[in-house]
């Protein structure tokens, strides 16, 4: 991808795919065949072993999604409404503890499912690699 920020001592395994505007923190490791979505952030010293969806932040070893990447979205001219949609998706996927197919279905039912933010998250989740969705 373009406009990626990758800090020192970060390591990527083979065949890792990183989408536009992603941020990878100092000392992080990304397992082979993982994907990092657009505007996502992997925090410092984290170990990513599954796909990290767009607009979300992950932290830990192994990494877990902990929030949305609001600052990156604001810096890249996303509207307040779009940031709120990313937060709604975060709650649906990570706070309701749905299985991936159920979470995708809930996102599709969202009144603003056609918005570019939700579409990006849905598309990423549907096309998660063999590593699986974080």
Which pLDDT tens digit goes with each residue over 48-76? 999 999 999 999 999 999 999 999 999 99
In this prediction the pTM is: 0.95
pLDDT grade, residue 97 (50/70/90)? confident
pLDDT grade, residue 130 (50/70/90)? confident
Q: Round the average pLDDT of the chain to a whole number and report it.
A: 96
Q: Residue 36 pLDDT > 80, yes or no?
A: yes
Q: Residue 104 pLDDT > 80, yes or no?
A: yes
- Alpha-carbon distances, residue 119 vs 25, 74, 108, 109, 110 (angstroms): 26, 18, 9, 12, 11
DSSP secondary structure letter of residue 111? T
DSSP bridge pairs for 26: none
């Amino acid at each position: 991808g373009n406009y990626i920020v990758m800090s020192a001592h970060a390591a990527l395994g083979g065949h890792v795919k990183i989408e536009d505007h992603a941020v990878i923190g100092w000392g992080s490791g990304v397992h082979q065949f993982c994907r990092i979505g657009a505007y996502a952030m992997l925090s410092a010293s984290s170990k990513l072993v599954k796909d990290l969806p767009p607009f979300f932040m992950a932290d830990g070893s192994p990494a877990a999604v902990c929030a949305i990447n609001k600052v990156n979205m604001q810096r890249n001219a996303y509207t307040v409404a779009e940031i709120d949609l990313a937060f709604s998706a975060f709650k649906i996927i990570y706070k309701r503890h749905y299985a991936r197919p159920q979470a995708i279905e809930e996102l599709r039912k969202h009144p603003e499912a056609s918005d570019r933010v939700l579409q990006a998250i849905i598309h990423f989740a549907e096309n998660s690699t063999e590593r699986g969705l974080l």
